[in-house]
Amino acid sequence: MSANSLSTGYLVLSAMLFALGAFGLMRRRNTLVMLMCIELMLNAVNLTFVTFGRMLNDITGQVIVFFVLVVAAAEVVVGLGLIVAIARRRPGATADDIRVLRG
Amino acid sequence: MDINVESVTFWICALIVLGGAFGVIWSRNPVHSALSLVATLFGVAVLFLNLNAQLLAAVQVIVYTGAIVVLILFVLMLLGVDRDEDVEVEPLVGQRTFAAVAAMAIFVILFGVFVIGGTRIVTGTPNCVSGDVVVTGSPYEPGCDPVNPQLATVTDSPNINQVGRVIFTDFAFAFEITAGLLTIAVVGAVVLARRPKDLEPLPEPAPLSYENVNDIEETA
């Protein structure tokens, strides 16, 4: 396998990871599993960034991943806070029960 | 088809990554999903090593596997929602079909772009004297002569030096903004996770009687 197609291999792998994360996000109703699927999609994007950085011989692709990491951490913190707040009102809540947030 | 260290590592890690992703989606128990997520994140970390991004591989293991997954598992245990989800119930009719179709559409579009486009999908100017995209398979070969050696992915200086230099020069402002983002997220989490009884107004304080006022003045 030539090196060129290995670069394409990384990109196809990240496309599959992104699609699997999107599928899980739309299919599952457990809010924590939905958060994990968002993490999968973010990791797919990170892998794409690093691959593109390697193809362009540019370290900036790796620097962008740091900012994605920070956004992922902030997203998980706020998401878990929301889940805790909902689960306190209604234990065993799924994504359908988020409508209790309505006024 | 070349059999070298990089391609073998890639295929093994690709299997681990995809197996973990399937585990996240299809595990009924959320704890099993979280553990499958660990496998996926480790696989991506090894792929980062394979792409000569050593610092990112370490950060991936420490931040994602060490902090984020542990945080998710902690909330899972705290809330006691580690029960099996009833996957037979489908409150929203056609949700799974729609999810499968949409995910397949996403994959087919991305796959088509990546395979048909080849190396042409990388827009921007490559950091190469020749102006061509790097296609080397080995993580330790430079691949081309860099125009700007400080931005090259493979040099004699360590990966962490290069990433640090770029973060604290070109991206210094963005770096400061991320500090503000993290602070806002922490404050938001504290506000969200506060107990509802704290939100109730405090009861009216008892009115001070004349004797009490004297007591306060004497003690003061």
Rounded CA-CA distance A20/A69 in Å is 20
Nearest to B7 among A1, A52, A63 (CB): A1
Of B14, B40, B126, the CB nearest to A57: B126
Least confident piece of the model among B16-25, B56-65, B112-121: B112-121
Over the stretch B129-175, which tens digit does the pLDDT of each residue have?
Answer: 777 777 766 777 777 777 887 788 777 788 899 899 999 999 999 99
Chain B interface, best mutation among A35, A46, A51, A66, by max B CB count within 10 A: A66
Find the helix or strand (DSSP H, E) in which B189 lies. helix B172-192
Six-digit token pair at B208?
Answer: 């001070």
Tokens 């990491």, located at residue? A69
* Chain A residues within 8 A of B41 when measuring between CB atoms: 39, 43
Percent of chain B whose predicted confidence (pLDDT) is above 70: 81
Cβ within 8 Å, pair A59-B152: yes
Q: Do B24 and A36 touch (CB under 8 A)?
A: yes
pLDDT over threshold 60, residue B204? no
pLDDT in tens, chain A (103 residues): 344 568 888 999 999 999 999 999 998 888 889 999 999 999 999 999 999 888 888 889 999 999 999 999 999 999 998 888 877 777 666 777 666 666 5
Q: What percentage of chain A carries pLDDT values higher than 90?
A: 48
| Residues in CB range of B29: below 8 A, 6 or more apart | B82, B83, B84, B85
Residue A65 half-sphere exposure toward CB, CA atoms < 13 A: 31
**A12 touches B: beta carbon within 8 Å:** yes
A81–B10 C-beta distance less than 8 A = no
Q: Which residues of B touch A75 (CB under 8 A)?
A: 185
Are the CB atoms for B179 and A70 separated by under 8 Å?
Answer: no
Going by the DSSP 8-state scheme, the letter that residue B134 receives in this structure is P
A24, A41 in Cβ contact below 8 A?
Answer: no
pTM of the model: 0.84
Residue B74 has pLDDT above 80, yes or no: yes
The residue in chain A having the minimum alpha-carbon distance to the alpha carbon of residue B128 is A57
Q: Which residue has the tokens 């296609």?
A: B135
Higher pLDDT, B18 or B156: B18
What average pLDDT does range B73-85 have in this prediction? 76
Asked if A36's CB is within 8 angstroms of B44's CB, the reply is no
Please report the pLDDT score of residue A64 as a whole number.
93
Render B58-116 in DSSP notation, one character per residue. Answer: HHIIIIIIIIIHHHHHHHHHHHT--SPP-TT--SSTTHHHHHHHHHHHHHHHHHHHHHH
Of B53, B78, B192, which has the smallest distance from its Cβ to A81's Cβ? B192
CA distance B64 to chain A (A): 8
Question: Taking 50 as the threshold, does the pLDDT of residue B62 lie above it?
Answer: yes
User: What residues have CB less than 8 Å from B195, skipping those under 6 apart?
Assistant: A88
Both structure tokens of A95: 């994504």
User: Cβ separation of B107 and A16 shorter than 8 Å?
Assistant: yes
Distance from CA of A67 to the nearest CA of B (A): 7
pLDDT of B202 reads 46
